[in-house]
Each structure stands twice: as structure tokens, then as C-alpha cells.
Structure 1
Amino acid sequence: TVAGVHDDYAHLRDNTAVAKLIEYVNHLTKAYAGASVPRSAVEPLVLMMAPVAPHIAEELWSRLGHEGSLAHVPFPTWEEKRLVDDTVELPVQVMGKVRGRVTVPVDAAREDVEAAALAEPNVAAHVEGKTVAKIIVVPGKMVNIVAK
């Protein structure tokens, strides 16, 4: 969220920055339903909303117990390594219809993706008793199985 909001502000896309902040609030609401949200999750939110709602952000910053203005506090930072997914979910089609989904490592070999797709229970049920003529793997996008 921090990286996305930073990029949106840098490119003057305030509406999409606000949309990302709303998604973040929704995530926090679901993740901490009935419990208090950690300060480490709320403070970056207040700092990120300051460019579009400065008065509310200043009030929240004060209520969080900070002295002085948040205008002098740096924008939250992020770690680049956290922006890269380790796994990817791929839809698996059998004869052009999605019959399942598999989650595989981003750098998985083609053979491993094929094996995972064929091992998915609903996919296996749809190719049972048929000859698999071709398996098309589009890396990071999808798997399509042609069976006769």
C-alpha cells in the first residue's frame, strides 16, 4: 500500500491513492475485527492520508500522542523485496473452460506447473478417461489442457 500510494501521489493520481487507502482500512477492519489495530499499522495510514485530508490527519496524529505537526515526519517507507510475490495463482482450463486454480512458485519449471495442474482434483476429474493431447503453459498467466 505504501509503495502504491507513494507512486500515485508522485504521479498526481490522488483518487487512486485514496482508493488504496480505503482498501487498506478495509483490510485492517477485517484483519483486526473486534480487536485494536496496532499503532504500527495506523500511523503510516495517518501519514499517507495527510496530503488529501491534512486537517483530519493532524487531529489523528495528535490523538495518537505525537507532539508537533506530522508535516515534518517523513513519508512511510517500504522494502522492495516485499513487493515481489513468491507464488502465483494460475487458472487451469480444460478444453477452454476454467476447471480449477493452482498456486505455484513464480519461478516454477514448466513440468512442475503441468504436474500441479493435472493433480488439481477438479481438473483430474475432467481429463479422466481422456488422452491429454497438449498442455499449454503461459508462464504467470494460465494453463490450458487439450484432451481428447
Structure 2
Amino acid sequence: MIYLLSWYVQDFLWILSSGKVLVPEVYLLALVFLSMFRTEDGVRTVWAAFIGGVLWDLRWTGLPGATSLLYVTTLMLVRWLWRSIPATGRTISLFGLLLWFSNMPITLARLFLWGARGLSILQAYLVQQSHIVPLVLLGCAAYAWRSKNQDV
């Protein structure tokens, strides 16, 4: 249910921005957050990334599979990095850094496909990052709360 809700939030934000601003990848952030937060839902999360990416491509970009490829690749890479770190090294700052960096491949692809050139690339990137940072901080707060209440 959280997958569907985050996909709809991202779609709604995309409609509200009407193509003037690159909206944050709420769906990808939710997928990465849940894949690092819950250890047992790996296959389900990868399938959700694939299906959500294909639906996003059919809804907006017109090249079915491009977003799906970036979603699944990013999700699996972040999941692999998170699992390769010992449990004692999984800090809140590392969690936030991986959550933030997981947005980079799709952001760069969207900037390229969006057609931004020159200084408008930097401006679009900074605006999108300013929308992503509060979501990452919220994810870090949720991870800190979980770490405090459970032994991770």
C-alpha cells in the first residue's frame, strides 16, 4: 500500500508542477527507504520498483523500461551496499547519505531527458535537491526512531 501511495504522491506532484520543476523521486525514496528499513522484503521491493517504473514510463516519458531500469538498478545497488556494511557501521548519517545518493541516477537521467541546458541544469538540480533533503531528513528521523526502539 505504501508503494502505491508514494507513486500517486509523486504523480500528483508532477501534475502540480506542470513540467516547470523536477519533482523529487518520492517513489524511489520510499522504495529505497523500505528496502533498507525492512530486511525481508527484498524481492517484493524489486518487483514494486520494476512495475512502478514501467507504469511511470507509460504515464509520462514514453520509453517503457527506462525508469524501471534505473529504479531497479539503484535499488539493488543501495541494498547491496547497505547489506555489505556490518550492523555496527549502519549509522543514521550513512542511512541518509545512501538515501540521498540513491536519487542521483534518476535525477541525472531526468535532467538529460528534460532538455535543460547550461545554467538551467544547475538550477533545476538545486531546486529538486531542495525538495529531496526534507524527505531524506524525515527518513533519517524514522530510522533513528527505529534504531532507538529496536536493536538494529
Normalised TM-score (structure 1): 0.28
Richer in helix (by share): 2
